[in-house]
Amino acid sequence: MNSVRRRTLLGSMLAAPILAGCGTADEDAVTFFFQARPQEARARMRIIAAFCERHPGIRIRTVMSGPDPLQQMLTYCAGGKCPDVLMAWDLLFAGLADRGVLLDLHTMLDRDPEYAATLRADSYPTLYETFDYRGGRYALPEQWSGVFVYYNRKLLAQAGIQPPRRWSEPWSFEQFLAAAQALTRRDERGRVRQWGFADAWVPCYSAACFGMNNGAQWFSPPKAPIRTDIGDPRFAEGLQFYADLAVRHEVAPSVADRLSDSAADLFASGRSAMLLGGHWLYSEFVEQDDLDFDVTVLPVGPHGGPGAITGIGCTGLAIAAHSPRREQAWEFVKFATGPIGQAIIAESGLFVPVLQSAMGSPGFAAAHTRIRNLEVLTGGPAASRTMVTTSAWGKVESLMSRGCNRVLRGAAQADSLGAMTGDIDALLRAAT
């Protein structure tokens, strides 16, 4: 399962590969490659328009991604037509960096020490370092998503459940399970008409977050790892807890159930009381006036804590290593990831900004008036942890997902994944 499914689960991509930027299609325009749903694309166009007002001499031409942006970027660059500015994903950028596709932005930051110092001071350390790899910095973060739990406020109130409001005070696995059980409703024939919990992310990744919230890492170290920790009993216990929500306790849709209804649709229609997902879902839910929802944090296992954590889920902006418009591209990246661009992101309601000043702005709060537990969003970056950064991720994910999916189907126990560590570690070592 492709890691960029994080942002493509909910809707179709824009069909047109080229959108109108602030310039023409001439060869001097800075090309900007990104992936987005229609609402997200419109927010990006606002940033581009604001940039062009301040930099009339620099033209931007947008290039929309298809369903496999990594392969598309490699194809462009292999053909000598690499876009100047490229959207980067936290799980995918390392492969591009190792192939020499991305520019080490230290070369630009070192020439601009005042901006670099201001950016660092206003950034969340966990996000600022997202795209660091082997001593280089290959992108600057532009938005945080993470994963957390949406909940139907009315349904939880009817069940007498008050979920946590902040990452530092999470609920336990036991409390979370009890809530999911109380929120699962069945008809007289035993058929589920309301699930306690559903998952709108990638199940293997979600399961890994539960393992990490039980006191273990997924990979060691998370950046350029040399081994996986799926054999750690704490990780296996957390992953098994996640799998058992569907397999054993039947408070979440099974793998087969997920084929008939999307998790987001279940939540939006009131057929699921809680939903694991990221901020990319917010724009869809907020458009439904009859959906009274809020957000809470992930649960913590007996070996985790004291606070809950989440995956970074960050995207960034990178510059092609061989861009002939490097200076102009750098001006755009600085703008989009700096205070003005981040303020636009904050007030759009479509993204969570990565700068503290934008996160605390009136615009961000005004765009999230439906959320009472705003600290789940504003505190998310500090609670984020790198899941994994390796150029071998494609091969590792393919191997690991086969074993993980067996556990999620109930065909194996999570502690059986330890038998895979040797093969996975070999892939990781080969990439170091």
Domains of the chain, earliest start first: 3-145+312-359 (3.40.190.10), 148-311+389-431 (3.40.190.10)
Tokens of 233: 């009993």
3-state SS string over 74-114?
HHHHHCCCCCCEEEEECCCHHHHHHCCCECCCHHHHCCCHH
> What gap in Å lies between CA 333 and CA 44, rounded to an integer?
12
24 confidence band (pLDDT: 50, 70, 90)? low
Q: Mean pLDDT over residues 386-406, rounded?
A: 95
Q: Name the packing angle between helices 38-54 and 339-348 (round to 10°).
A: 150
User: Among 171, 203, 180, which residue's Cα sits nearest to residue 373?
Assistant: 171
Q: Tens digit of pLDDT for each residue in 40-93?
A: 888 889 999 999 999 999 999 999 887 788 888 888 888 788 999 999 999 999
**Residue 326, exposed/middle/buried by CB under 10 A (0-12, 13-18, 19+)?**
middle
pLDDT of residue 21 exceeding 70: no
* pLDDT digits 0-9 by tens, 180-217: 999 999 999 989 999 999 999 999 999 999 999 999 99
pLDDT at residue 11, as a whole number: 34
Return the closest-CA partner of residue 62 out of 36, 88, 39, 92: 36
Contact 431, 424 (CB under 8 A): no
Quote the percentage of the chain above a pLDDT of 70. Answer: 94
**In this structure, are residues 278 and 148 in contact, taking their beta carbons and an 8 Å threshold?**
yes
pLDDT, tens digit, for every residue of 223-279? 999 999 999 999 999 999 999 999 999 999 998 777 667 999 999 999 999 999 999
Share of the chain above pLDDT 90, in %: 82
Mean pLDDT of all residues belonging to the chain: 91
pTM: 0.92
125-171, pLDDT tens digit by residue?
999 999 999 999 999 999 998 999 999 999 999 999 999 999 999 99
